[in-house]
Each structure stands twice: as C-alpha cells, then as structure tokens.
C-alpha cells in the first residue's frame, strides 16, 4: 500500500497478517523532505517491491524430521525482514556504505548495497539515506533484507509454574531467548506467543536469560513489581542458582570451587576480566563406551556469560558436547543432541524486481550434518531466600544413574 501525504512526502507501509507473530508485520520508510523526483522514483520502486514480494511478509514454519530421528522447527523459505541495529562505537563517523559492506557478512558487494540505498531499502533513523552519509552516536541503521534463520529443536517450551506474579518456563536447548542477529521467529518469546502460552510478549518481563544451547528454567515476571524484585535480588547476588552438567573425564575431588575471573585463562587477551566463582559438586561418575564422564551440580555465585562453561573447561573437564571451548569433543558425538539442520543465519539483499515478475528467491543455506543442537547443561533451580521464592524444573534424563 502506498499512501500519499501532503507536501510530496510518501510513506511506504508493507503489512500482512502474520500467524507466526499473531500481529501484523510493518516495514516503513519515510520519504518526507526528499526532492519530488527522487520521491517518485523510490515510490515506484517500493510499489514494485510490494507487488512482487508481499507474500514474503509471512514466514512459513514447518516441522521436519532429520536423519537422526529428531524433530526440527524450520523456517521454510527466506522472508522479508527489516534488520535494525543501533550504531556501535566503532561505526561512528564511518559512512553507511562502509559500515554495511564491512560489518554485514552477506552484504559485501558495494554496488548491490548502493542499489539497496537508492531503492530505499536502507534507512537511518527511519529515513532514507545516502551511501556517503556518516553515522552518528545513537543513530539506528535499518536494512530491508531477505532473512533466513537456523533450525531449532521442535520441542515446545512448557509452563511448569504460574501464579499472578510469575510464569516459569522449561526452555529447550537450541532455542535462543529472544530476537538477535541470527533469530527472529525461532526464539523462546516468539514460540511462547504462537503456542498460546502467553498472549503477547509485551505481557511479561524477562528477568534473566539462558544461553541458546542451555536448557531449563526461565523465569518470566507478569508485573513490573515482581520483575523489579527478582532483578534486584539477582543484581545483589541474593539468588541461589543450580545447574546440572555432564562433563568429560572423571573429576578426582567430589567438590571443588573455581574462583577465577572470566577471560583470565580461556581468553587471556580479554581487557576487562570479570570476577566469577562457581561451586562444583559431583553427582556421579560413569563410563559409556570407553568414555569417562561425570555429572556435576554447579552453583555459580555470579551470573557471567558462559561462566559455568568456561569454568568447567578451565579445570580440564568441559561439558561433553561444548565444542566452543573444547573443539576436540566431537568424539562424544553419539551422546549429544545432534541433527542434520540448517545452522547458517543468512541475510540477502532484496533482489531487483520488475512489474509482473515473481521475485527469484535465494537458495536456503546448506544442511549442516550432525549439528550440535544443545549442550548438556541445564538450569534446574533458582531460589530467592530473602523473597521466600524457589522455582524448579525436572532433571534431565542424562543426570540419572
């Protein structure tokens, strides 16, 4: 729909009813204040774009069975998406063309990006821009692209507890918490909404986060007061967190405490290592097909990113399928959650279109054989003694002797 507004300003608005989001997608570009001839040129290009790819505004989700017998949640085809990001410090003073071609891995061709800018598919703060525009602090850079995101496991998140203040979710491994550079629809918040567990993601407050590959307990607050209380407790370390992990090798001691700033060992070039400590207690030791493993309970005192994963790897007992910190762990493949899945997150420029022609879509990223979908790390309990609250989810099958 192209809507004419006074003073030769034109606003393009693409909208479609989206069952994935249960609300309309809206992609807007404001052409107000542009010279009339340029406005009309971009209006014609935008009208052609809408006519040729309006159907791409509604991503299609499919459940597919992979070669390992698992069920995956897959976005079947690329879809039209407005990718928005706040300007980073290293981008300040650089041109729009330079930032996009240098920082966006799928948009390296300068001629393609120039055509996107001319067509109005690149905006700064919601307004058309030029290739030579320099980015400033607090600017928002937006690109209209075709997007495809990786597969996730099709296990539906479940609500394990709910009252007037809180909703506790058991999150599957492989599913990220919320939209990021790789995911939009294959996220916990989107799946909770489309499955009807929550009416709208705006109805709940995310109190804490789990890594995408980690499964287990996620607490959502239903009121601002409840969210503030838990957030304050977490900030003040007035929370007792318990995780279970399956690691490589047999730990010699039954209990150990790792008190080690993150970055000091595994990332020695880190300029500002963060204080962190984790208590580790052995549940049981086992050997499967000649591979020694130990199931441990981990109690982190701090809540740093990848804290448990880094601390376990630093003592020589990484999580058995955490190849980020120990790349040689592929020998544990038979005991990992694996799938023949799409793993590459891709962005493509919107192809040039002409009236009456169907847009030619790019091929999906290739299937990654035996992709690790989740690691053996699970959040099982968060207790808040000062608030008299404790939330738990069931132990994983691999944590039983």
Per-residue pLDDT tens digits for 144-194: 888 888 999 999 999 999 999 999 999 999 999 988 878 889 999 999 999
Contact assessment for residue 131 and residue 187, using Cβ atoms and an 8 Å cutoff: no
Mean pLDDT of 64-70: 78
CA-to-CA separations, 119 to 62, 65, 122, 186, in angstroms, rounded: 32, 40, 8, 29
Neighbours of 356 (CB within 10 A): 8
Q: Are residues 315 and 360 in the same domain?
A: no
Domain with 113 in it: 2-151+343-370
Residues 338 and 394 in one domain: yes
Q: How many CB atoms lie within 10 A of CB 70?
A: 18
Are 146 and 184 contained in the same domain? no
Q: Are residues 228 and 250 in the same domain?
A: yes
Question: Does 225 have pLDDT greater than 90?
Answer: yes
Is-contact 42 119, C-beta < 8 A? yes
The beta strands (E) that lie in 132-239 are given as 140-148, 152-153, 158-162, 166-171, 205-206, 215-221
State the pLDDT at residue 300: 93
Its pTM stands at: 0.78
Residue 369 or 390, more confident: 390
Query: 11 pLDDT exceeds 90?
Result: no
Beta strands in 307-362 (DSSP E): 337-342, 346-349
Task: Specify whether 247 is located in the same domain as 360.
Answer: no
Residues 178 and 314 in one domain: yes
Asked whether residue 206 carries a pLDDT value surpassing 90, the answer given is: yes
Give the model's pLDDT for residue 353.
Answer: 60
Print the SS3 string covering 334-349.
HHCEEEEEECCCEEEE
Pair 164, 49 in one domain: no
Give pLDDT, residue 10.
28
CA separation (Å) from 72 to 76, 169, 180, 337, 371? Answer: 11, 20, 20, 12, 12
Please confirm, yes or no, whether 322 is among the known catalytic residues. no
What's the confidence (pLDDT) of residue 279? Answer: 96
Q: Which residues pair with 299 in a beta bridge?
A: 279
Does 90 share its domain with 77?
yes
Write the CATH number for 314.
Answer: 3.30.2350.10
Q: What are phi and psi of 95, to 5 degrees?
A: -80, 160
For residues 123 and 230, state if they share a domain: no
* Count of domains forming the chain: 2
The torsion angle over the Cα atoms of residues 217, 223, 227 and 228, rounded to 10 degrees, is -170
pLDDT band, very low/low/confident/very high, at 3 (cuts 50, 70, 90): very low
Q: What is the pLDDT of residue 23?
A: 31
pLDDT in tens, 276-304: 889 999 999 999 888 899 999 999 987 78
- 281 and 388 in one domain? yes
Non-local CB neighbours of 386 within 8 Å, separated by 6+ positions: 233, 238
For residue 373, give the nearest of 74, 104, 81, 169 by alpha carbon: 74
Res. 14: pLDDT tops 60: no
Tell me whether strands 215-221 and 166-171 are parallel, antiparallel or unpaired: antiparallel
Q: Which two tokens stand for residue 292?
A: 């020694």
HSE, CB side, 13 Å, CA atoms: give it for residue 144: 31
pLDDT at 144: 87
Q: What is the CATH number for 41?
A: 3.10.290.10
pLDDT single digits (tens) 299-312:
998 778 889 999 99
Q: Give CA–CA dist 49/46, Å, rounded.
A: 5
Which helix (DSSP H) or strand (DSSP E) does residue 74 occupy? strand 71-75
Average per-residue pLDDT for the chain? 80
User: Does residue 238 sit in the same domain as residue 276?
Assistant: yes
- Cβ burial of 280 (10 Å; 0-12, 13-18, 19+) is buried
Residue whose structure tokens are 């006519």: 51
- Which of the two residues, 320 and 353, has the higher pLDDT score? 320
For residue 127, pLDDT beyond 70: yes
The catalytic position among 66, 151, 211, 340 is 211
Same domain assignment for residues 84 and 231 = no
């Amino acid at each position: 729909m192209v809507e004419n507004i006074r003073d030769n300003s034109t606003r393009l608005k693409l909208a479609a009813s989206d069952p994935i989001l249960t609300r309309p997608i809206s992609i807007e570009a404001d052409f107000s204040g542009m010279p009339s001839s340029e406005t009309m040129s971009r209006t014609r290009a935008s009208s052609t774009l809408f006519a040729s790819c309006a159907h791409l505004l509604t991503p299609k989700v499919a459940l597919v069975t992979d070669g390992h017998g698992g069920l995956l949640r897959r976005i079947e085809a690329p879809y039209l998406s407005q990718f928005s990001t706040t300007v980073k410090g290293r981008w300040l003073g650089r041109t729009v063309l330079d930032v996009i071609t240098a920082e966006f891995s799928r948009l390296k061709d300068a001629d393609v990006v120039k055509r996107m800018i001319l067509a109005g598919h690149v905006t700064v703060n919601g307004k058309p821009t030029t290739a030579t525009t320099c980015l400033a602090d607090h600017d928002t850079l937006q690109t209209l692209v075709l997007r495809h995101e990786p597969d996730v496991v099709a296990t539906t998140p479940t609500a394990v507890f709910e009252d007037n203040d809180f909703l506790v979710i058991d999150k599957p491994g492989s599913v990220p918490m919320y939209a990021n550079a790789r995911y939009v629809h294959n996220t916990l918040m989107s799946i909770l909404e489309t499955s009807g567990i929550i009416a709208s993601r705006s109805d709940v407050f995310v109190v804490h986060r789990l890594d995408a590959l980690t499964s287990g307990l996620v607490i959502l607050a239903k009121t601002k007061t409840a969210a503030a209380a838990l957030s304050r407790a977490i900030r003040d370390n007035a929370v007792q967190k318990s995780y279970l992990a399956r690691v490589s090798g047999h730990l010699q001691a039954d209990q150990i405490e790792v008190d080690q700033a993150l970055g000091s060992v595994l990332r020695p070039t880190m300029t500002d290592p963060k204080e962190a400590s984790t208590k580790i207690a052995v549940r049981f030791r086992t050997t499967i097909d000649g591979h020694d493993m130990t199931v441990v309970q981990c109690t982190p005192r701090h809540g740093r990113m990848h804290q448990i994963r880094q601390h376990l790897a630093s003592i020589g007992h990484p999580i058995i399928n955490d190849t980020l910190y120990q790349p040689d762990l592929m020998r544990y493949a038979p005991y990992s959650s694996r799938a023949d899945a799409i793993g590459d997150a891709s962005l493509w420029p919107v192809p040039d279109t002409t009236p009456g022609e169907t847009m030619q879509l790019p091929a999906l990223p290739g299937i990654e054989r035996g992709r690790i979908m989740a690691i053996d790390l699970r959040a099982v309990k968060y207790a808040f003694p000062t608030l008299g609250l404790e939330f738990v989810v069931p132990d994983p099958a691999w944590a039983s002797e």
